[in-house]
């Protein structure tokens, strides 16, 4: 008897799948894309990790495990978004199917079908969707993974400085199989149980005479809306807190990730997704009011059908919210990611100029060349074509200097810089990164040093020496590469970050306290009595065209060779000490572009899935509204007008979703771009409006095109059959 019952339930589930082939097709297709994307990303990471360990010794790979964990975590989180969208689609379609089948469920209950049988009827549909989608998704993901091999190989090879060519061998770990199968089965089944459980709780009387429960349902709807409001606020506030906490772990990020920074990056992506989810839930809660406002704005386009479209949106609120959520979610995530990478891109050049001290650096803080290269070399450099300005710079080397009592302990080091203030300002007043507390221009802040006998100090020294601005501080230097000084200088300000001043933007060993100060050449010459021609220095060069910095370095190499000793002893081929902005930004730009391609590809796939969800939701809604459409056709409404009504509804929902997605994506991008200062990857918040407008228009176009399929189906329905039809 039990087997007979199960056979009936499976047959009913199978009948419902065949009865709505388009809905079933797009639902399964969404699962295939979600599973395939998740599986392919993990295969690519597995294969790359396996190939690296197969072809290289552990000593050659450095921090490979940390990079692998970082990329796996971020890409899994992003590809998991596609799975989330699939789950939302399945859950909402099953909910809509349950609502449309209430009358049928009531009849089945009247005929003696148990609540368990009703539950299984819906649940078996989800099982069939999940199994078919998983099996085909695994095959699709297997072939899709090849697309990720090249970009991931280039990214990790660059990060790990691997110059030896190697082939990526296909490898799938048991963990990847397990995670994919579990995600593809358990997550849809868990969320599919919600509509199945609700269907099993259907009351016979309410199902056959649904108007009796209308008032109760309205009260429940208000209560549920209030609950969603609380949940959305909890998500928004919680994500902001997590983002703030995650920033602290990024402060240790330099040129290689640590476990702490990797976890922080992963949590930032997750918290950004949570923020967007909470914001969109909030938008969905007030969707009737938002869509009403948007429909008024679209009145010149919608004309007479505006009221009908808006009425249908509010009458079919589940379908409207489902479409709203998946469209705005996919768009907001895509915009958030684009803003993050736009902000990184905007900070690449200023960050490089900050680290180098200019567009071209000749010598480095601890380079011994500054003890040999005459300062008047700047006169020759200024004559080269393409040079805009040259800043002469000199600094103490080693732990032989102190300021007040700081520098006496073995773990303390004070570095004194000497700079050409006018050239320094010319190079860095525009398109560079600096940070200080006083509200004055960069030029005014630096040009304070033109007053002889003054000094600027790193902010951390304010605590170490306990001296306020305006008082004198004692400076003592005793270095073989720097004249011996013992002088009292007037403190005129503190800085947090200044371009080229190495210790102001790169933290050293946590146990070491390395801080610096700056004086002008006027002060230096006044103290030492040395002449311009007797002094040696390094050089920071500003170029007329920063992209020509490599060519300029070649010219300088020829110049140094022609000048003879000591210039010809300089090894300008050392691209770490003699470094150009091209060297600094090319690596970062290449990596950023490759990562962006991978992430945006994943999110575009999620966007396509969201379009499928919209189409299937609308198809379900058309089936539900057969009676209404039949009446419209009976009173003389043309097929074109029916098409306009269906497309108008989607148009209003699409515009509302895109506007909310834009706002949520920009806010999410701002939160994740508001990163505390990081020397290696500084963020400068930037919105690339061209990309955002193009993505939004593409999304709107796809949404409107997607509405054509349901509209065509609505026009093909028979008028008499429609009027007599109660729904599915």
pLDDT digits (tens, 9 = 90+) for 472-528: 999 999 877 788 899 999 999 999 999 999 888 876 555 678 899 999 999 999 999
Measured over all CA atoms, what is the biggest interatomic distance in the chain, rounded to whole angstroms?
A: 108
Task: Note if the bond before 566 is cis, omega within 30 degrees.
Answer: yes
- C-alpha–C-alpha distance, residues 72 and 78, integer Å: 10
- C-alpha–C-alpha distance, residues 190 and 179, integer Å: 15
Cβ neighbors of 195 (< 8 A, separation 6 or more) are 91, 94, 95, 97, 98, 122
pLDDT at 220: 64
Model confidence over 424-453: pLDDT tens digits? 999 999 888 888 988 899 999 999 999 999
Token couple for 621:
């809604």
Q: Are the beta carbons of 647 and 622 closer than 8 angstroms?
A: no
pLDDT at 6: 59
Tell me the sheet residues that pair with 457: 494, 517
- C-alpha–C-alpha distance, residues 75 and 40, integer Å: 10
pLDDT at 539 over 90: yes
Model confidence over 403-420: pLDDT tens digits? 998 988 888 889 999 999
What is the average pLDDT across 667-681? 78
pLDDT at 2 over 60: no
Q: Are the beta carbons of 424 and 391 closer than 8 angstroms?
A: yes
DSSP helix, strand, coil percent of the chain (3-state; round to 5): 70, 10, 20
pLDDT at 728: 41
Model confidence over 317-353: pLDDT tens digits? 877 888 888 888 888 988 998 898 888 888 888 888 9
Q: 125: how many CB neighbours lie within 10 A of its CB?
A: 26
- C-alpha–C-alpha distance, residues 220 and 232, integer Å: 18
Contacts within 8 Å (CB) and 24+ apart, 589-593: 589/345, 589/348, 590/154, 590/158, 591/155, 591/158, 591/159, 592/341, 592/344, 592/345, 592/348
pLDDT at 249: 60
Closest CA to 458 of 473, 479, 477: 473
Written as one string, the DSSP assignment of 104-116 is: HHHHHHHTT--HH
What is the average pLDDT across 154-178? 75
Q: Domain boundaries in the chain?
A: 1-208, 364-576
Cβ neighbors of 237 (< 8 A, separation 6 or more) are none
pLDDT at 384 over 90: yes
Token couple for 56:
């290289």
- Written in H, E and C, the secondary structure of 355-403 is HHCCCEEECCCCCHHHHCCECCHHHHHCCCCCEEEEEEEEECCCCCEEE
pLDDT at 257 over 60: no
- C-alpha–C-alpha distance, residues 386 and 329, integer Å: 48
pLDDT at 577 over 70: yes
What is the average pLDDT across 100-118? 77
Percent above pLDDT 90 for the chain: 22
Phi first, then psi, for residue 566 (nearest 5°) are -95, 0
What is the average pLDDT across 272-279? 88
Q: Are the beta carbons of 411 and 513 closer than 8 angstroms?
A: yes
The segment with the largest mean pLDDT, out of 95-104, 313-322, 331-340, 362-371, is 331-340
Token couple for 588:
């970062």
pLDDT at 645 over 90: no
pLDDT at 474: 94
Phi first, then psi, for residue 56 (nearest 5°) are -135, 155
pLDDT confidence bin for 1, thresholds 50/70/90: very low
Model-level pTM? 0.79
Phi first, then psi, for residue 388 (nearest 5°) are -95, -45
Cβ neighbors of 299 (< 8 A, separation 6 or more) are 306
| Alpha-helical runs (H) found in 145-213 | 146-159, 174-200, 204-208
Classified as helix, coil or strand, 168 is coil
What is the average pLDDT across 103-131? 81
Torsion of CA 692, 36, 78, 334, to 10 degrees: 10
* Beta strands, E only, 459-547: 472-479, 482-497, 513-520, 538-543
- C-alpha–C-alpha distance, residues 605 and 137, integer Å: 13
Token couple for 92:
């909402």
Q: Are the beta carbons of 617 and 322 closer than 8 angstroms?
A: yes
- C-alpha–C-alpha distance, residues 394 and 363, integer Å: 10
Between strands 482-497 and 454-458, the pairing is: parallel
Q: Report which of residues 547 and 219 the model is more confident about.
A: 547
Between strands 412-419 and 513-520, the pairing is: parallel
pLDDT confidence bin for 26, thresholds 50/70/90: confident
pLDDT at 677: 65
Q: Are the beta carbons of 604 and 81 closer than 8 angstroms?
A: no
- C-alpha–C-alpha distance, residues 268 and 72, integer Å: 15
Q: No. of H helices and E strands in the chain?
A: 28, 11
Tell me the sheet residues that pair with 698: none
pLDDT at 630 over 60: yes
For the chain, how big is the Rg over CA atoms in Å?
A: 33
Model confidence over 173-206: pLDDT tens digits? 888 888 888 888 887 777 777 777 777 777 766 6
Cβ neighbors of 193 (< 8 A, separation 6 or more) are 123, 126
- C-alpha–C-alpha distance, residues 387 and 399, integer Å: 35
pLDDT at 164 over 70: no
pLDDT at 403: 93
Q: Are the beta carbons of 44 and 148 closer than 8 angstroms?
A: yes
Model confidence over 549-561: pLDDT tens digits? 999 999 999 999 9
Average pLDDT, the chain: 81
pLDDT at 4 over 50: no
Instruction: Give 167's DSSP letter.
Output: P
pLDDT at 260: 60
pLDDT at 556: 94
């Amino acid at each position: 008897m039990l087997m007979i019952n199960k056979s009936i339930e499976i047959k009913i589930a199978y009948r419902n799948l065949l009865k709505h082939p388009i809905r079933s097709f797009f639902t399964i297709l969404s699962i295939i894309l979600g599973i395939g994307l998740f599986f392919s990303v993990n295969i690519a990471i597995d294969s790359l990790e396996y190939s690296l360990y197969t072809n290289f010794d552990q000593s050659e790979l450095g921090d490979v495990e940390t990079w692998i964990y970082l990329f796996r975590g971020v890409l899994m989180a992003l590809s998991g978004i596609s799975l989330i969208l699939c789950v939302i689609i399945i859950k909402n379609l099953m909910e809509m199917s349950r609502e449309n089948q209430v009358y049928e469920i009531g009849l089945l209950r009247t005929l003696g079908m148990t609540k368990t049988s009703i539950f299984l009827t819906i649940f078996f549909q989800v099982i069939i969707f999940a199994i078919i989608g998983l099996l085909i998704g695994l095959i699709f993901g297997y072939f899709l993974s090849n697309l990720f091999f090249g970009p991931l190989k280039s990214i990790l090879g660059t990060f790990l400085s691997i110059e030896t060519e190697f082939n990526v061998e296909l490898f799938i770990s048991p963990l990847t199989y397990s995670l994919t199968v579990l995600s593809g089965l358990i997550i849809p089944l868990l969320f599919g149980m919600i509509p199945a459980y609700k269907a099993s709780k259907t009351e016979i009387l309410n199902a056959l005479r649904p108007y009796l429960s209308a008032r109760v349902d309205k009260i429940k709807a208000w209560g549920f809306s209030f609950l969603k409001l609380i949940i959305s606020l909890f998500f928004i506030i919680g994500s902001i807190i997590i983002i703030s906490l995650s920033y602290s772990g990024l402060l240790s990020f330099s040129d290689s990730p640590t476990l702490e920074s990797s976890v922080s990056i992963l949590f930032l992506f997750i918290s950004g997704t949570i923020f967007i989810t909470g914001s969109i839930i909030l938008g969905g809660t007030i969707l009737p009011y938002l869509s009403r406002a948007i429909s008024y704005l679209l009145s010149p386009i919608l004309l007479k059908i505006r009221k009908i479209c808006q009425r249908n949106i509010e009458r079919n609120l589940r379908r409207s919210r489902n479409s709203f959520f998946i469209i705005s979610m996919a768009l907001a995530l895509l915009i958030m990611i684009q803003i993050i990478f736009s902000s990184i891109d905007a900070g690449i050049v200023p960050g490089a100029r900050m680290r180098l001290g200019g567009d071209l650096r000749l010598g480095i803080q601890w380079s011994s060349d500054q003890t040999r290269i005459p300062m008047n070399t700047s006169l020759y450099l200024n004559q080269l074509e393409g040079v805009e300005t040259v800043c002469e710079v000199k600094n103490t080397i080693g732990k032989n200097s102190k300021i007040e009592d700081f520098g006496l302990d073995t773990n303390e080091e004070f570095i004194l810089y000497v700079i050409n203030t006018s050239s320094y300002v010319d190079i860095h007043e525009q398109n560079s990164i600096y940070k200080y507390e006083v509200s004055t221009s960069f030029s005014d802040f630096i040009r304070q040093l033109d007053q002889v006998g003054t000094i600027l100090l790193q902010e951390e020294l304010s605590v170490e020496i306990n001296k306020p601005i305006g008082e004198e501080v004692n400076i003592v230097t005793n270095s073989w590469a720097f004249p011996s000084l013992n002088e009292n200088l007037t403190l005129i300000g503190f800085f947090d970050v200044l371009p080229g001043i190495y210790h102001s933007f790169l933290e050293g060993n946590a146990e070491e306290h390395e801080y610096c100060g700056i004086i002008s050449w006027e002060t230096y010459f006044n103290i030492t009595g040395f002449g311009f021609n007797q002094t040696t220095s390094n050089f920071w060069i500003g170029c007329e065209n920063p992209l020509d910095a490599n060519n300029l370095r070649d010219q300088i190499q020829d110049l140094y060779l022609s000048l003879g000793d000591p210039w010809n002893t300089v090894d300008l081929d050392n691209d770490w000490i003699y470094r150009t902005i091209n060297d600094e930004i090319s690596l970062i730009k290449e990596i950023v572009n490759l990562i962006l391609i991978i992430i945006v590809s994943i999110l575009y796939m999620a966007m396509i899935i969201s379009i499928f969800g919209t189409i299937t939701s609308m198809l379900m809604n058309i089936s539900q509204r057969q009676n209404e459409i039949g009446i419209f056709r009976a009173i003389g409404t043309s097929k074109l007008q029916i098409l306009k009504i269906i497309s108008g509804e989607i148009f209003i929902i699409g515009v509302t979703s895109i506007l909310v997605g834009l706002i949520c994506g920009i806010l999410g991008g701002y939160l994740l771009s508001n990163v505390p200062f990081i020397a290696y990857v500084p963020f400068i918040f930037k919105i690339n409006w061209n990309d955002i407008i193009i993505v939004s228009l593409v999304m709107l176009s796809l949404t409107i095109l997607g509405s054509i399929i349901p509209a065509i189906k609505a026009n093909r329905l028979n008028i008499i059959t429609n009027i007599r039809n109660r729904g599915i």
